[in-house]
Every structure is written in C-alpha cells, then in structure tokens.
C-alpha cells in the first residue's frame, strides 16, 4: 500500500464518517506545522469524497481516484500561492467555477494550501464564498498559522488540528515502509520532529542519514555561539531537535540507562559530555530553549533571542 497515510487515523475516521453520513462540511481548515501531513490528508479526503466504490476512504483504483492521483480530476483543484501570496484573482477564478455543478464527482473540492498567505483583499473575497458555499462543494484551507487568518474566515470553517506524530510511532512506520534500521528510523523521526512529510524527505535524501551531536553542546567560544545562532534563524525547528539532546544529557546525568535515550546510538559521546554539566545547568538549558521557542512565537527579534540562547547554552570552559 504505497499510498497508505502515516498517522492521523482519528482525523481520517472523522472525515470518512462525515462522508458516510453525508455530513461533509462546506469548508474545513486544517491547522498544523509544515509537512505534518495536511495536504496528504486533504487530497485523500478529496479523493474519498468522489471515490465511486468505497465509503471508507478512497479505493485508489476507480477512474475517479486515478484521475485525482494523476492531478487531472475536473472537480479537484489545488490553489497555491502565486509567488508570495494567494492573489485575489485566484480567488475570483475559484468563485467563477464553484457555482457550477460537479462535472464527474459528487462534490467539487478546492484545496487552498498556505492559506495564511492570503492577503486581506483575497481573504475578504473568499469570505463571500464561505458565507454561502454551494451545496456540492468543499473548500479545504491548509495553514501553519491559525492566528494569521481573519477570525471571520476561521469561524466559517470546521477546524481540524494536525499534531506531529509521536517519535516512536513515526519511527516504526519508517522501519516498516523503508527497510531501515531502528537507530536510523529514530534519528530521522526525531530530526523531523514527528512531521511525516519531513521524515519522508529525509529518507529520500539518502540512506546514509546520520545525525550529529548539536554543535552548541561542544562549543565554548562566543563566536561559535553567534555562528550557531545564525544557523538557527534559518531553521527555527532546530530548537525542537535540540531539546531532545539536552533531555538525553539530563537523563544520563541522573544515571538512567542508555536505552531510554532518544539518541541511543550517541550514548557514549553523550556520557562523556555529561561531565561538563551540572544538573542545574541542564535544567536551565532545557528551560531556556522552551522560553526562546515561546518568545519566537510572539514575534520578538528572532536573531537577538537566538543569540541570547546560544550564549546561555555555551559550555563553561
Ligand atoms: Zn476510488
């Protein structure tokens, strides 16, 4: 089953149930971090709505499913930002089409990716459709940032939150599907922060995926700290990853066995590192990472916040 979806079972069941009981909403809003699986689930939902043979998800074999997979189902359209924004012209085009009955399927499905990239003009325009959606249409908006959408727009959608997978669950799926060993599967799942799409991309990047101990854990120089902070500004999700390493150190510091670690294959190196930290230092390191993450969500000066964090995390020489 190459197209089987990893995780999100509850969401899929909820959506299948809506199809089976003929209670599909006019508009959905899928919310979750990038690459967590929103678009995959949206496409599968669209396919399932119009599948001719199955009530329990798409069959993947009927004409409708095959057209959807090939990207040429006449009643399924994906709208992505054109450049930086989803433009008002794209919304107007949608509105022109949505008033007609489906050509082949049960409903017309429109998936709008990165809905937070709708400017005010486009959002207000879309609002008109959301206020009175044609009966045989479904809009599925995807977003990483619920707060960036107009409240009036949010309130007209059924909101479905997507959570990253538990690391061990994702690792197990990766082992089953790609024939990779446990160590590698856990590394990839951890680096991906439980986001399925990101994990799959990492698997595809190559079999020799090897994670390394984060630089900041061995750095003791202020210049290194600034360089590392600069890297973090490019990929703020590095902080989620970082915290798993400090947790491992904290575990080892308390004498926990190596098989409890997330980064089990680095146990030896980590054991050596614990000598450089006190229990208190590890606790405050973890606290500082969480505080910084919270600050970044409040739109503080990211560079400054990350520099302060890197300096705090520097190992005492
Ligand atoms: Zn089908």
pLDDT digits (tens, 9 = 90+) for 122-150: 999 999 999 988 989 999 999 999 999 99
- The per-residue pLDDT for 1 is 35
**At residue 23, does pLDDT exceed 70?**
yes
Q: Which residues surround ligand 1, an ion (CB under 5 A)?
A: 51, 58-59, 62, 65
pLDDT band at residue 225 using 50, 70 and 90 as cut-offs: very high
The tally of CA atoms less than 13 A away on the side-chain side of residue 106 is 18
Contacts of 2 (CB under 8 A, 6+ apart): none
- Cα separation of 2 and 69, whole Å? 12
Distance 19 CA to ligand 1 centre (A): 13
Tell me whether domains 9-161 and 215-313 share a fold.
no
| The Cα angle at residue 282 between residues 276 and 285, in degrees rounded to 5 | 115
CA distance 250 to 241: 15
Distance 57 CA to ligand 1 centre (A): 8
Q: Is the pLDDT of residue 66 over 50?
A: yes
Most confident of 51-60, 207-216, 237-246, 279-288: 279-288
Say which range, 72-76, 208-212, 308-312, has the weakest mean pLDDT. Answer: 208-212
Write down the mean pLDDT value for the chain: 90
State the pLDDT at residue 109.
97
**Range 201-212 average pLDDT:** 70
- Using the mean position of ligand 1's atoms as its centre, give its distance from the Cα of residue 37 in Å: 21
Alpha-carbon distance values, 80 to 67, 86, 89, 169 (Å): 20, 7, 12, 30
Structure tokens given for 123: 């959002």
CA of 70 to the centre of ligand 1 (A): 13
The values of phi and psi at residue 15, to 5°, are -70, -40
Domain positions in the chain are 9-161, 167-205, 215-313
**Sorting pLDDT into bands at 50, 70 and 90, what band is 260?**
confident
pTM greater than the 0.75 cutoff: no
136 Cβ partners below 8 Å, 6+ apart? 101, 102, 106, 107, 108
Topology at the third CATH level for domain 9-161: Rossmann fold (3.40.50)
Average pLDDT (48-54) is 89
Model confidence pLDDT, tens digit, residues 88-121: 999 999 999 999 999 999 999 999 999 999 989 9
> Across the beta sheet with 76-79, what order do the strands follow?
76-79, 108-112, 137-143, 27-31, 158-161
Q: Which residues contact residue 92 at a Cβ distance below 8 angstroms, ignoring those fewer than 6 apart? A: 125
Report the pLDDT value the prediction gives residue 206, as an integer from 0 to 100.
63
Q: How far is the CA of 211 from the centre of ligand 1 (A)?
A: 40
Fold of 215-313: Zinc Finger, Delta Prime; domain 3 (1.20.272)
């Amino acid at each position: 089953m190459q197209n089987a979806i990893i995780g999100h079972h509850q969401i899929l069941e909820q959506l299948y149930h809506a199809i089976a009981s003929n209670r599909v909403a006019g508009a959905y809003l899928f919310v979750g971090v990038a690459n967590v699986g929103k678009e995959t689930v949206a496409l599968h939902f669209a396919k399932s709505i119009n599948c001719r043979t199955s009530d329990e998800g798409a069959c993947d074999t009927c004409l409708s499913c095959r057209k959807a997979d090939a990207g040429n189902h006449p009643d399924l359209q994906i709208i992505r930002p054109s450049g930086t924004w989803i433009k008002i012209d794209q919304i107007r085009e949608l509105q022109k089409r949505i008033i007609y009955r489906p050509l082949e399927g049960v409903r017309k499905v429109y998936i709008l990716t990165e809905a937070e990239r709708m400017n005010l003009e486009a959002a207000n325009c879309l609002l008109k459709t959301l206020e009175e959606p044609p009966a045989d249409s479904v809009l599925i908006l995807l977003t990483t940032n619920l707060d960036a959408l107009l409240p009036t727009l949010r309130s007209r959608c059924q909101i479905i939150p997507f959570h990253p997978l538990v690391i061990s669950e994702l690792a197990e799926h990766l082992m089953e599907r790609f024939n990779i060993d446990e160590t590698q599967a856990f590394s990839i799942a951890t680096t991906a922060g439980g986001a399925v799409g990101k994990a799959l991309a990492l698997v595809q990047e190559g079999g020799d995926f090897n994670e390394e101990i984060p630089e900041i854990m061995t750095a003791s120089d202020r210049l290194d700290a600034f360089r590392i902070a600069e890297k973090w500004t490019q990929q703020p999700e590095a902080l989620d990853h970082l915290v798993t390493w400090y947790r491992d150190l904290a575990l080892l510091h308390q004498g926990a066995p190596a098989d409890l670690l997330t980064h089990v294959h680095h146990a030896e190196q980590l054991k050596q590192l614990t000598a450089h930290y006190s229990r208190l230092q590890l606790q405050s390191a973890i606290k500082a990472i969480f505080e910084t993450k919270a600050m970044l969500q409040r739109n503080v000066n990211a560079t400054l916040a990350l520099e302060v964090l890197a300096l705090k995390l520097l190992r005492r020489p």
